[in-house]
Amino acid sequence: MTNYELSADYVDSTTTYDPRPTQTQVADTVAPDTPSAVTATGVLPSVVTTGKSLSASTTGSSAGGGGTGSSGSGSGGGGNGGGGTSSGSNSGNSGSTATTGGAAGGGSGSLSGGGIVAVKQETTVELAGLGHGSYTMVDSTTFLSGQQQRVSNPSEDDEVPSLPNPAQISELLSKTIADAHARTCLVSTDQIQESFRKPADYNKLIYYKDMGHEQLWLECAQKLTTVIQQIIEFAKMVPGFMKLSQDDQIVLLKAGSFELAVLRMSRYLDLQQNCVLYGDILLPQEAFYTTDTAEMKLVSYVFELARSIAELKLTETELALYSAAVLLSPDRPGLKCLGDINRLSQAVIRALRSELDRNHMTPIKGDVTVCDAILAKIPQLREISLLHMDALAKFKRSQPHLEFPALHKELFSVDS
């Protein structure tokens, strides 16, 4: 049985990654007589009671990491991108990456320190329809249960506020979660495609193919750690996640982080060459094989699932929503506030289905839609996560002297 011990240093419900403008900056962009639901810092575009969207300009910097990145291997996927700033897009980034294309900092340290802005956010954006016709408050730190907005004793001259419809809610969620994804994937799809076209470096290819068993595990563990640092930052920007209890946040991250790393790996697969972009080099699946059958099974399953997702040609927004849906799975063992998590999960799935139905109108086979197909892959993701834990536990028993990155040990702690 896996024993998880993730310290609160890595995800603190009182701190959050804050690349967004302050209240003053948001106020400068809004006319004095414009009603606004923003009560502190500008995190989400605000939906006011007239039903119109107020978009706040956002400019922020992502905590820079360094080094090269990776994807699926003995410990599964990985990668970190270069440092640089991000203004809600993938431009202006340096460094190369794989699997998820970006990481904040090194393999250890607290997410509330080490160069990551730690600012408590109390921003509130008023949204309707995340429940079933209910009026709900959603922001990057809160997801409250539905409350009806009431207008007390309106006169005939009073204008009754109009609330956003479910389609508007889904659109707002899509934009917000896509932005979180873009800020934590520091390499654009164009940059990835450009890397695919570069000539092969055979010296590096031989180096990785000849890498020893222990070195391969440690290499991939480091890359996976940097990937997960970005996944944690992504989670903290998903509306409602930071309002969940700290225990539930930790449960969701520990259970879902490897699964989200596999999803991000799909961005870095070159389907034509059947290779993955690992740092600045394309490596075939065989480069990650070892003599251990459990590890070979893990690598094969990771590549197979990542390839099947890449073949669906999901947009970045669709992949972001899919990642959020996997992260917010309400059936993870150990969760306490199931009601809040379930409401948030259903809202994200509705936004995902809406996005997929708009972009992929033709069913894959028969009446099976793309949305049906990717939701059906969630059990496969969980199976791969269990395979990773089993392979890791076996390796650690055989090599107890090896030291893994601190965050990796916290997330993937196993019985000795």
Entry pTM: 0.66
User: pLDDT digit string (tens) for 285-317?
Assistant: 999 999 999 999 999 999 999 999 999 999 999
Whole-angstrom distance, CA of residue 226 vs CA of residue 230: 7
Q: Provide the residue range defining the domain that includes 395.
A: 166-411
Q: Is 341 inside a domain boundary?
A: yes
What confidence score (pLDDT) does residue 142 get?
A: 43
Please tell me which residue, 205 or 396, carries the higher pLDDT value: 396
What confidence score (pLDDT) does residue 225 get?
A: 94
Please provide the DSSP assignment of 97-127 as one string. --TT---SS-SSS-TTSTT---------EEE
90 neighbors 97 (Cβ within 8 angstroms): no
What confidence score (pLDDT) does residue 32 get?
A: 41
Q: Could you tell me the CATH number of the domain that includes residue 257?
A: 1.10.565.10
Q: For residue 325, what are its two tokens?
A: 């849906």
Q: Is 200 inside a domain boundary?
A: yes
User: pLDDT digit string (tens) for 233-276?
Assistant: 999 999 999 999 999 999 999 999 999 999 999 999 999 988 99
Answer yes or no: is pLDDT of 8 > 70: no
Q: Is 184 inside a domain boundary?
A: yes
Q: Is 388 inside a domain boundary?
A: yes
Answer yes or no: is pLDDT of 354 > 90: yes
What confidence score (pLDDT) does residue 344 get?
A: 96
Average pLDDT over residues 85-101: 40
Q: Is 176 inside a domain boundary?
A: yes
Q: Is 50 inside a domain boundary?
A: no
User: pLDDT digit string (tens) for 117-169?
Assistant: 333 333 333 343 344 333 334 444 444 444 444 444 555 555 656 667 888 88
Average pLDDT over residues 313-328: 97
Average pLDDT in the chain: 73
Please tell me which residue, 316 or 15, carries the higher pLDDT value: 316
Please tell me which residue, 335 or 74, carries the higher pLDDT value: 335
pLDDT band at 6 (very low <50, low <70, confident <90, very high): low
Residue with tokens 């008023």: 126
Residue with tokens 């419900």: 13
63 neighbors 86 (Cβ within 8 angstroms): no
User: pLDDT digit string (tens) for 142-155?
Assistant: 444 444 444 445 55
Q: Is 158 inside a domain boundary?
A: no
Count up the domains in the chain and report the number.
1
Helix (H, G, I), strand (E, B) or coil at 310: helix
Closest CA to 15 of 236, 327, 183: 236
User: pLDDT digit string (tens) for 211-226?
Assistant: 999 999 999 999 999 9
Average pLDDT over residues 401-410: 93
Residue with tokens 């997330």: 411
* Percent of the chain whose pLDDT exceeds 70: 60
What confidence score (pLDDT) does residue 275 get?
A: 93
Q: For residue 130, what are its two tokens?
A: 């995340």
Average pLDDT over residues 105-115: 39
Whole-angstrom distance, CA of residue 394 vs CA of residue 54: 53
Q: What pairing do the DSSP bridges indicate for beta strands 281-284 and 275-278? A: antiparallel
Answer yes or no: is pLDDT of 89 > 60: no
**Residues whose CB is less than 8 angstroms from the CB of residue 408 and which lie 6 or more positions away in sequence, other chains included:** 75, 107, 221, 222, 224, 225, 228
Average pLDDT over residues 318-333: 98
What confidence score (pLDDT) does residue 365 get?
A: 86
What confidence score (pLDDT) does residue 49 get?
A: 37
Average pLDDT over residues 386-391: 96
What confidence score (pLDDT) does residue 410 get?
A: 92
What confidence score (pLDDT) does residue 44 get?
A: 43
